[in-house]
Amino acid sequence: MNTAYPYHLDRRGRTAAASDDQHLRNLIEQVLFTAAGERVMRPDFGSGINALVFAPAGDTLAAAVQSQVQGALEQWLGDRIRIAAVEAESDNGSLRVEVRYSALNSDVLRQVTLSRTL
């Protein structure tokens, strides 16, 4: 059973569960939006893209985000997923990151698109 993220209770008052696909998506989101030093026992966990919030928006920011996201996902989830592509786009003060991946035990390609306003 995979625990749902963020943690909450289901209708029966039990720990809510997540499907395998939703669990992987949740793990990707946790890696991307966890800042370095945020986890006490794993201070190097995360992608570090939160530190780029004050960087000038544009192609340079998108390239830096793309590189950091790819590296973080391979480091922290390389034993669970295979990264097919990472695309980042910065436009009008917002950042959009698209990750295409498949579970290691599957050839089904999935896509996660996450956005943040800078």
Q: Could you give all domains of the chain from N- to C-terminal order, each with its CATH number?
A: 2-117 (3.10.450.40)
What pLDDT, on the 0 to 100 scale, is given for residue 17? 94
pTM score of the predicted model: 0.84
pLDDT at 35 over 90: no
The DSSP 8-state label assigned to residue 41 in this structure reads S
For residue 98, give Cα distances in angstroms to 32, 36, 56, 78, 87. 11, 21, 20, 17, 5
Task: Of 33-37, 42-46, 56-60, 74-78, give the lowest mean pLDDT range.
Answer: 56-60
| Residues of the chain above pLDDT 70, percent | 96
What mean pLDDT, rounded, does the chain reach? 88
| Residue 78 · residue 101 · CB < 8 Å | no
- In angstroms, rounded to a whole number, what is the distance separating the alpha carbons of residues 80 and 110? 13
What pLDDT, on the 0 to 100 scale, is given for residue 118? 62
Residues 51-105 have pLDDT tens digits of: 776 677 777 888 888 999 999 999 999 999 999 999 988 777 677 889 999 999 8
What is the SS3 assignment for 61-98?
HHHHHHHHHHHHHHHHHCCCEEEEEEEEEEECCEEEEE
What pLDDT, on the 0 to 100 scale, is given for residue 107? 87
| Residue 2 · residue 8 · CB < 8 Å | no
What pLDDT, on the 0 to 100 scale, is given for residue 22? 93
